[in-house]
Structure 1
Amino acid sequence: MRKEYDISNLNPRKNPYAKQLKKQITMNISITTINYFKEQSEETGIPYQTLINLYLTDCAEHKKKLSMTWN
């Protein structure tokens, strides 16, 4: 290996996977919701945090709107 490299000759390009990167956030989620996704996790073998991410991604991609009814 060289002691120094000349990076000015490199062809920098954008990361093609940049859109797929994730950002860590903190959310308050009800215990009932977490337990639901943990049950789904046991059935599917997919980690519950991944299931939550997949569900939210699907909602965003399909532009789903929340419909709420008050009793």
Structure 2
Amino acid sequence: MKKVKHEEIRKEYKLEDLGKGIRGKYFEEYKKGTNLVLLSPDVAKAFPDDASVNEALRSLLKIARQAKGLTRRST
């Protein structure tokens, strides 16, 4: 992948149109623990919304916990 120099931007962008950046714009959200995850397109097709993703992950966690209990030796 070609590395772009910091001073290079696309020709269609004009620095005066971009305005100044705002320091810490998303800091409060970050502190709250917002955790965004980018799903691959094939995975995203299977899950229409965040609730379905959460439900699937909770089910997987439950199965993993149950399977972990099966591997312990009884004494």
**TM interval, short-chain normalised:** 0.3 to 0.5
Which of the pair has the greater relative contact order for Cα pairs under 8 Å at 6+ separation? 1
TM-score by length of 1: 0.33
Which structure has the larger Rg?
2
TM-score by length of 2: 0.32
